Structure 1
Amino acid sequence: MTFRKKLWMTLFIFVLLAVGSAFGLSYTLYEKLYVESVKDELKAAAENLSDDYKGGELNAAFVERVGWFSEKSPFEAFAVHNPRELAACIPYEADYETLIGPEEREKLLENKMIEETGYSERFDRQIISVIYPLLDDKQLKGILYLYIPLERIDELVSSLILFWAAGAAMLTAVLLYGGMRWTRHVVKPLEEMKGAAVRLSKGDYMARVPAESKDEFGQLARTFNEMAEAIQKENEQRKTFLATVSHELRTPLSYIKGYSEAMINGIGRPKQQLSIIQREAARMERLVNDLLELIRLDSNKMNIEKTFLPLADLVYRTVDTFRLKHDRFALDIDEETIVYGDEDRLSQVMTNIIDNAVRYSQKNKPIYITLRQEKDQVKWIVRDIGAGMPEEEIPKVTNQFYRINKARTREDGGSGLGLSIVKQIVERHGGELNIQSEAGVGTTVTVTLPALIEEGEET
């Protein structure tokens, strides 16, 4: 069942409940207001008539007065000397014993009124009656009998049938019109979201839905739009990534193809050509390895095996691997620093950052490396004096395949993925990567990691 049908079903049930409640209320009002009020008036009339009885045998004057009252009031009333005469006077069939049995007679002798309700075929309706005793010195000298046929509930409202019919027609029309408008208003955002979702599933990543309202539908629409924007952005990044990978692989492949064909045809210097082929193959290998590393990080499939690690030893070992390329390092190392991390991954971080510093620093200038603990953080800082970069480039250098100087980086064999991988590894260790740089001055890279705090030590 669609949501629209559910709304209509809800509205239909609501109307049924409203109509049923109206009928229930009508019958309740009929019983409580009309019937009870008639009974009260009937009792009051009988009591008033009995006040004119002064005792002794019923005289003609009293009987005539009761008859006069019967003609002038809505009630039928008469007085009889003998209760047995009552069966001949009532408007429905009943014998004396049915009307006044031993129990009823006791009530009359106690000067108590008797109420009776019965159905009259003559009037085709219910009859309410009262029997009131006329006592003299505790002797029953006669009775007053008053009755009135009750109006049926349909007769009470017969004069209002046209009004009710017109009102019901108008109410139904209003409910139908309002229900259609309300249903359309409620369902419209969902239908728009359904249509946008279908478009999105077919590759239309520009699909959006209006989100002006402040209610739950508006919140849902805004959430949908945010999701669509994220999917669109991810799709654009995927396209850019694939295009960049294709471009990065095309260059070394063209070198390898070109020089291999030249060697086959006996053109050029084979030794130099083989050197170029080997260099480009190594570049492709590094690129593929970096891509696999990045994919594992993005999919959270990279295995991070953390241990308690003295970071100073790792810094010393990493620096030693670069001394043949750059022999001037200024080290300020706190050898007591301990972190909880993956040695291989953190070595990868240090290698990449120091490699960049060696590439872009001046050969005769030192590279400053600092390792220190500040409260609950360990900071590893690498500062070089060299090319640096413009301030607007800094946020981009951790993007995949981003290069400031593309030609120079390709010559040096970089894939443009190193800092993107570094950033993810640092974040997987609960740390932070910060880069500060100034063109022509140099670059400072700070890796902040959680320190291992001994129990009881203040932070």
Structure 2
Amino acid sequence: MRLNRLTLAQKLWLTVTVTVFITVLFTYLLSQFFYEKLYVDNVTSNLLLQAELLANDYEGGPISDSFKEKVDWYNEKNIAEIFAVSNPRELSACLPFDIDYDTLISSDEREKLLKGEPVKKEGYEERFDRNIVAIIYPLLDDERLEGILYVYLPLASIKDLMKDFTTFWMIASFLFIVVSIFLGTLWINRLIRPLKEMEAAAHSVSQGDFSQRVEVTTVDEIGQLAKAFNEMAAAIQKEDESKREFLADISHELRTPLSYVKGYVQAILDGIVKDEHEQRKYLGLISRETKRLQDLVQDLLDLTKLESNSFEMEEGPVAFAQLIEDILMKYKIRFQEKDITLAFNLDPDPIIMGDERRLEQILQNILENAYRYTPNGGKITVELTSQDDHCIVTITDNGIGISEEHLQKITERFYRVNKARSRVDGGTGLGLSIVEKLMKMHNGKMKITSKIGEGTQVQLIFPILSEV
């Protein structure tokens, strides 16, 4: 359809124009209809009133000459034509147009007259070249129809009545249409201005300029759309910056272990390292960096699934204290290697709904950080307590601690507190980001508090199953 090729402004302008024209035309026709109707009703009421007043002078019996003279006298003073006759057939001699008695008063109308009810007549009369309206009023004497009053008046042509009105109406309508279209065009341009701005901004965004914003000047639907566009552009900009930062971080994280692996392998291949003991040492370093690459790739896969809501969980009731104790046993030997004291106090009652493998991943990430940043001879404490409808796992260490500045960003991807240590014994930098998302999937919360030189405390809060 050609209408589909029009712009929104053109469609709105067309709508306003058509609406104005239809409104003017409809109002004109409606005014004509009501004007004519009111005019005819007024004439009819006036004729009926005159007939009633004259009928009041009728004293009964046959229609007398004196009564007819009164009617004739009134007829000479009045615009309408009024006749009093004993027999309707006499009207043919009085009226200036032919009349058919058989059609003048039907049997039903005669019954109405006998009941004292007037009869209204309206129709076209060729002699006058217009419609006439007439009232036939009964003159009754003891339920006997002695005669009738016939009152009629040619109706003025509606064209005559509306001539002056139509001229005025056409001038006023023309001015109304011009002003309406002018103001409508201004209003339409004002309405679509934000849409044009959004169109231009959207084009810029599609070209990669995510800094584009549109001005929000109203609170209507267009204003809300502009606000939504700005929010969308801000979200896309943030996501783009996050993606760029993420890719840069991945490149940076992969570069270090790959550089180590490449250097160690090249040293062995070039024969720089000939001693078997040194070769095994280099192979051990290659294995360590390969393990780091493997952990990084696995964490990236997990984080990607978590952020795309495609991470699958196999939930079921979990005896939380037993799960925590099993995980701590795996760390017992590692803690002994650094002479770290492990203390735990676990409430055996809490039962939670969760995925055991993912809960183990959460706890291992937190314990791994506590182990990594707690010095030799330090202490790590693990507690499980119950409070009302939730339980709290508290993991406390007396390690190096984290400043308030870093605590605000510690769950961001690839964020590390100590950049220097991260290259040697740090993790992938994704652990806490994964933990935070896994906690949300378990309807839980994570709270981290820390002080430099005193240590760090992590609280993991989970809802408890009310019934198992």
Length-normalised TM-score, structure 2: 0.84
Distance 1:159 1:301, change over 3 A: closer
Q: Deviations over 1:324-344 (max 9, x none)?
A: 433332423225143333222
Match of 1:216 in 2: 221
Secondary structure at the aligned position of 1:411 is classed as coil
* Equivalent pair of 2:450/2:456 in contact (CA under 8 Å): yes
Distance 1:335 1:311, change over 3 A: farther
Alignment of 1:87-98 (within 5 A): 87-98=92-103
Task: Select 2:330's aligned residue among 318, 333, 352.
Answer: 318
Task: Select 1:295's aligned residue among 304, 323, 334.
Answer: 304
Distance 1:381 1:44, change over 3 A: closer
Task: Select 2:22's aligned residue among 3, 7, 16.
Answer: 16
Match of 1:327 in 2: 339
For the residues of structure 2 that align with 1:248 and 1:104, how far apart are their CA atoms? Answer: 107
| Cα drift, residue 66 of structure 1 | 4.6
* Equivalent pair of 2:341/2:377 in contact (CA under 8 Å): no
* Equivalent pair of 1:92/1:118 in contact (CA under 8 Å): no
* Equivalent pair of 1:312/1:335 in contact (CA under 8 Å): no
| Cα drift, residue 243 of structure 1 | 0.7
For the residues of structure 1 that align with 2:292 and 2:82, how far apart are their CA atoms? Answer: 121
**Bigger mean CA offset, 150-159 vs 115-124:** 115-124
**Bigger mean CA offset, 5-14 vs 446-455:** 5-14
| Cα drift, residue 439 of structure 1 | 1.1
Match of 2:286 in 1: 277
For the residues of structure 1 that align with 2:363 and 2:143, how far apart are their CA atoms? Answer: 122
Report the residue type matching 2:36 in the other structure.
Answer: Y
For the residues of structure 1 that align with 2:186 and 2:409, how far apart are their CA atoms? Answer: 51
Between the aligned residues of both structures, percent identity stands at: 42
Q: Please, what is the CA RMSD of the aligned residues?
A: 3.3
Report the residue type matching 2:257 in the other structure.
Answer: P
Secondary structure at the aligned position of 2:462 is classed as strand
Report the residue type matching 1:350 in the other structure.
Answer: L
Match of 2:375 in 1: 362
Secondary structure at the aligned position of 1:322 is classed as helix
| Cα drift, residue 396 of structure 1 | 0.9
Distance 1:110 1:421, change over 3 A: closer
For the residues of structure 2 that align with 1:415 and 1:106, how far apart are their CA atoms? Answer: 109
For the residues of structure 2 that align with 1:136 and 1:245, how far apart are their CA atoms? Answer: 116
* Equivalent pair of 1:369/1:382 in contact (CA under 8 Å): yes
Distance 1:108 1:391, change over 3 A: closer
Is 2:166 aligned against 1:153? no
| Cα drift, residue 7 of structure 1 | 4.2
Match of 1:179 in 2: 184
Alignment of 1:389-400 (within 5 A): 389-400=402-413
Distance 1:99 1:382, change over 3 A: closer
| Cα drift, residue 408 of structure 1 | 0.9
Task: Select 1:162's aligned residue among 146, 167, 171.
Answer: 167
For the residues of structure 1 that align with 2:67 and 2:287, how far apart are their CA atoms? Answer: 139
* Equivalent pair of 1:318/1:350 in contact (CA under 8 Å): no
* Equivalent pair of 2:24/2:173 in contact (CA under 8 Å): no
Secondary structure at the aligned position of 1:314 is classed as helix
Secondary structure at the aligned position of 1:443 is classed as strand
Secondary structure at the aligned position of 2:457 is classed as strand
Distance 1:301 1:86, change over 3 A: closer
Is 2:50 aligned against 1:45? yes
Secondary structure at the aligned position of 1:157 is classed as helix
For the residues of structure 2 that align with 1:378 and 1:82, how far apart are their CA atoms? Answer: 111
| Cα drift, residue 37 of structure 1 | 1.9
**Bigger mean CA offset, 417-426 vs 63-72:** 63-72
For the residues of structure 2 that align with 1:57 and 1:391, how far apart are their CA atoms? Answer: 118
Match of 1:305 in 2: 314
Task: Select 2:36's aligned residue among 19, 30, 35.
Answer: 30
Distance 1:52 1:322, change over 3 A: same
| Cα drift, residue 67 of structure 1 | 4.8
For the residues of structure 2 that align with 1:245 and 1:21, how far apart are their CA atoms? Answer: 72
* Equivalent pair of 2:446/2:459 in contact (CA under 8 Å): yes
Secondary structure at the aligned position of 2:427 is classed as coil
**Bigger mean CA offset, 106-115 vs 259-268:** 106-115
For the residues of structure 1 that align with 2:210 and 2:21, how far apart are their CA atoms? Answer: 43
Structure 2 residue runs without a partner (length 5+): none
Q: Deviations over 1:395-437 (max 9, x none)?
A: 2111110011111111114211121122222222222111111
For the residues of structure 2 that align with 1:374 and 1:336, how far apart are their CA atoms? Answer: 13
For the residues of structure 2 that align with 1:163 and 1:188, how far apart are their CA atoms? Answer: 37
How many residues are matched?
453
Match of 1:286 in 2: 295
For the residues of structure 1 that align with 2:103 and 2:162, how far apart are their CA atoms? Answer: 34
Is 2:198 aligned against 1:193? yes
For the residues of structure 2 that align with 1:323 and 1:205, how far apart are their CA atoms? Answer: 49
Q: Deviations over 1:59-94 (max 9, x none)?
A: 5x7766655544432223455676434214323322
**Bigger mean CA offset, 132-141 vs 194-203:** 132-141
Is 2:452 aligned against 1:446? no
